């Protein structure tokens, strides 16, 4: 009998033969990952050893390009495992993740702290002016040198050993934090015993809550599942105040005590990050992180955020006065005693205030925002008009979950460009929120075209029923597809420089720019049609929808700034300044009090115990990035409008100067080349309808304008 090779049994061990090297999801099993990771790390070590031990003098090709070609198997298994672990994970995958985290970190350290390998890179960097490199080659060499240096390649061996220990501990804690949030978010779902308590929800929402309860063995009851943010969407609709309070507290108290407690993990992570920063020669973790970002240093970020805070809080307090008046009126109408405005009341009464000011509520427009039409006639349509892209669904290729849809994307000349996966619906096996990721990263060097995925957490409707979206969910789809376009339109030679491999405060720029099409009248008119009749959204209702987009900006800006300042608060600490686990809430309160943002009705968008961005998602000391990138995005929107709006010529320019270039050039220089000068706060202020508070800002550049995010 012929012996079956391991490669034929484990599909991860060889490159996929499917179009675009799409992973063969239908053949991958949990038992394949461990073997593929083990072999991937071994092969990568062997490849790196050959590069470091090359007896020939260091050259760009035999060192830098060779590194770009190394680690193919490890990249392949990592992209599949870590994507599926957050979008369709299970206990077995989480257990494997916990086991793998320290090994993968040790492997990364073994490469980046290799003195012989770094000596080759350092020698090339010293000679870079005489090597005759092209601009993209020079940038690649710079990025490698920066990457190795920031990883500690220049440290003495004793310091390197301590660094390895710190990195290993942090990798383990990061994994534990994320898994605790995932478990606590599921465990904290609120069980409702009576249908009457759900007054204010639509029949579709009530049905979704009943199905969620049924899926967990709670037949005859209803389950309100949680999103990853502090505020929960259903708070805007639930009439029952006691239930609103239960939902809010279930959200805000996640991972503070109990089996999934993250408070001790937070304090340990912050202390270890601070020690690592000191070891690398920085005063704190924020200084280390921000050195390689556009912001440059913590003081620039702090100044930007604090410039925004007074105006945002003033606007929030003004709206709070109107909300208290509404509560008093409601109490008089319904015959109950007025109560103090609390965090769980704000969304509900803000919706009433929205209706009073703009004469519509969200339920009125939802029938016009059907998921299929929003995708095809909105998200894909705007990409076609701007970049010439054509998107066609394919059902002949495997996906990792029945809810996932797969599309092939073609360029303006008809050439195949990318695969795009849309995973839109919420489920217990998926992390909360919305995000973009890569299964395959574009690189001409390796002959790779991109395979990207967008994840969202839209409640899934009953079989045969349409998925009707809020306007915020519509905006989220456009936002995440902006990230996807950044990945799909990438046209660089080297993997390290592709697509979204840019600074954190630049990576959000294309996504936030793409949000503009969600509210652009010519695009809205194309997709905002009644899901039953096909009638367009009435012009007067559309006018009110657009006018209301500037509503509640004080609250939204305040909740964002509060989270960003908590992030900075943690990561500007020195190791000896970190509080005890029991004082995490106290630390947050002190940070907000010092910044003047201690306003209980408008809590932080994330509290530390479930702040995935900064303790698990790569945004440590970087949550400010959304406001920085928002200025660039709105400036680009202004440039688009000044040059004729949604047109192919504008798309070609934006694609050529920014979206296709990844990090092959300096990001800020790419923006200024497009915009014709440095960033300007004015377009953002106008876009958000906050002209009345511009006196608080210096409009000289990034960080000087207000920000509101509907996503992330």
Decide if 672 is catalytic: no
C-alpha count within 13 angstroms, C-beta hemisphere, residue 587: 25
CA dist 502 and 507 (Å) reads 6
Length of the chain: 712
Give how far Cα 686 sits from Cα of 345, 418, 459, 633, 680, Å: 29, 35, 32, 13, 11
CA dist 544 and 511 (Å) reads 25
DSSP state of 452: E
- 99 φ/ψ angles, rounded to the nearest 5 degrees: -70, -40
- 403 φ/ψ angles, rounded to the nearest 5 degrees: -75, -15
572 closest CA partner among 587, 561, 585: 587
Quote the distance between the C-alpha of residue 352 and its chain's center. 30
Secondary element (H or E) of residue 408? strand 405-410
CA dist 369 and 632 (Å) reads 28
Question: Left if phi > 0, otherwise alpha if psi is -120 to 50, otherwise beta: which for 189?
Answer: beta
CB 104 within 8 A of CB 37: yes
Pairing of strands 390-394, 190-192: unpaired
120-139 burial, b for 16+ CB within 10 Å, e for fewer? bbbebbeeeeeeebeebbbb
CA dist 489 and 483 (Å) reads 10
- 607 φ/ψ angles, rounded to the nearest 5 degrees: -95, 160
CA dist 448 and 496 (Å) reads 13
Quote the distance between the C-alpha of residue 243 and its chain's center. 30
Residue from 47, 68, 197, 480 carrying the catalytic annotation: 480
**Which residues does the annotation mark as catalytic?**
480
């Amino acid at each position: 009998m012929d012996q079956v090779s391991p490669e034929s049994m484990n599909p991860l061990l060889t490159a996929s033969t499917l179009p675009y090297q799409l992973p063969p999801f239908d053949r991958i099993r949990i038992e394949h990952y461990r073997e593929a990771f083990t072999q991937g790390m071994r092969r990568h070590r062997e490849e790196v050893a050959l590069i470091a031990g090359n007896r020939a003098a260091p050259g760009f090709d035999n060192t830098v390009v060779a590194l770009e070609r190394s680690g193919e198997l490890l990249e392949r298994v990592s992209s599949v495992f870590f994507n599926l672990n957050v979008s369709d994970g299970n206990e077995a995958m989480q257990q494997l993740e916990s086991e793998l985290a320290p090994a993968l970190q040790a492997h990364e350290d073994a490469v980046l702290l290799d003195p012989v390998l770094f000596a080759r890179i350092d020698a090339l960097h010293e000679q870079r002016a005489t090597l005759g490199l092209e601009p993209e080659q020079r940038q690649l060499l710079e990025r490698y040198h920066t990457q190795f240096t920031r990883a500690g390649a220049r440290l003495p061996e004793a310091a390197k050993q301590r660094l390895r220990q710190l990195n290993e501990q942090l990798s383990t804690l990061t994994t534990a934090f994320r898994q605790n949030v995932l478990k606590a978010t599921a465990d904290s779902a609120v069980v409702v015993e009576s249908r009457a308590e759900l007054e204010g929800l639509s029949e579709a929402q009530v049905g979704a809550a009943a199905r969620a309860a049924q899926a967990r063995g709670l037949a005859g009851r209803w389950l309100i599942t949680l999103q990853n943010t502090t505020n929960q969407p259903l708070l805007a609709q639930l009439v029952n105040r006691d239930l609103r309070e239960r939902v809010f507290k279930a959200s805000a108290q996640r991972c503070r005590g109990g089996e999934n407690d993250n408070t001790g993990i937070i304090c340990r992570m912050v202390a270890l990050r601070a020690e690592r920063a000191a070891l690398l020669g920085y005063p704190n973790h924020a200084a280390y992180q921000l050195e390689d970002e556009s912001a440059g240093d913590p003081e620039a970020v702090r100044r930007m955020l604090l410039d925004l805070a007074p105006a945002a809080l003033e606007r929030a307090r003004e709206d709070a006065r109107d909300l208290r008046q509404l509560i008093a009126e409601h109490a008089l109408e319904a015959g109950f005693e007025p109560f103090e405005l609390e965090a769980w009341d704000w969304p509900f009464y803000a919706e009433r205030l929205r209706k009073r000011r703009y004469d519509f509520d969200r339920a009125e427009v939802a029938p016009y925002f059907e998921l299929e039409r929003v995708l095809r006639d909105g998200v894909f349509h705007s990409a076609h008009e701007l970049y010439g892209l054509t998107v066609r669904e394919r059902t002949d290729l495997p996906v990792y979950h029945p809810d996932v849809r797969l599309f092939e994307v073609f360029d303006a000349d008809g050439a195949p460009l990318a695969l795009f996966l849309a995973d839109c619906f919420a489920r217990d096996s998926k992390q909360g929120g919305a995000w973009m990721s890569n299964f395959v990263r574009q690189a001409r060097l390796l002959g790779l075209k991109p395979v990207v995925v967008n994840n969202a957490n839209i409640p899934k409707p009953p079989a045969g029923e349409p998925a009707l979206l809020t306007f915020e969910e519509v905006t989220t789809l456009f936002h995440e597809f902006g990230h996807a376009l950044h990945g799909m339109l990438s046209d660089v030679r080297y993997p390290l420089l592709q697509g979204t491999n840019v600074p954190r405060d630049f990576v959000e720029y294309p996504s936030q720019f793409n949000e503009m099409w969600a509210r652009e009248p010519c695009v809205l008119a194309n997709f905002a049609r009644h899901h039953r009749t096909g009638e367009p959204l009435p012009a007067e209702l559309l006018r009110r929808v657009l006018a209301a987009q500037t509503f509640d900006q004080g609250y939204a800006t305040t909740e964002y700034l509060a989270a960003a300042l908590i992030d900075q608060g943690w990561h500007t600490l020195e190791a000896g300044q970190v509080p005890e686990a029991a004082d995490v809430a106290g630390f947050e309160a002190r940070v907000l009090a010092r910044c003047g943002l201690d306003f209980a009705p408008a809590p932080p968008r994330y509290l530390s115990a479930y702040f995935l961005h900064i303790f698990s998602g790569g945004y440590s000391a970087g949550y400010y990035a959304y406001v920085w990138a928002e200025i660039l995005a709105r400036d680009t929107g202004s440039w688009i409008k000044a040059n004729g709006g949604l047109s192919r010529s504008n798309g070609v320019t934006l694609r050529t100067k920014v979206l296709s270039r990844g990090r092959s050039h300096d990001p800020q220089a790419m923006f200024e080349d497009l915009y014709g000068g440095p960033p300007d706060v004015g377009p953002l202020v106008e876009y958000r309808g906050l002209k009345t508070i511009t006196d608080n800002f210096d409009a000289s550049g990034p960080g000087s304008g207000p920000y509101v995010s509907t996503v992330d």
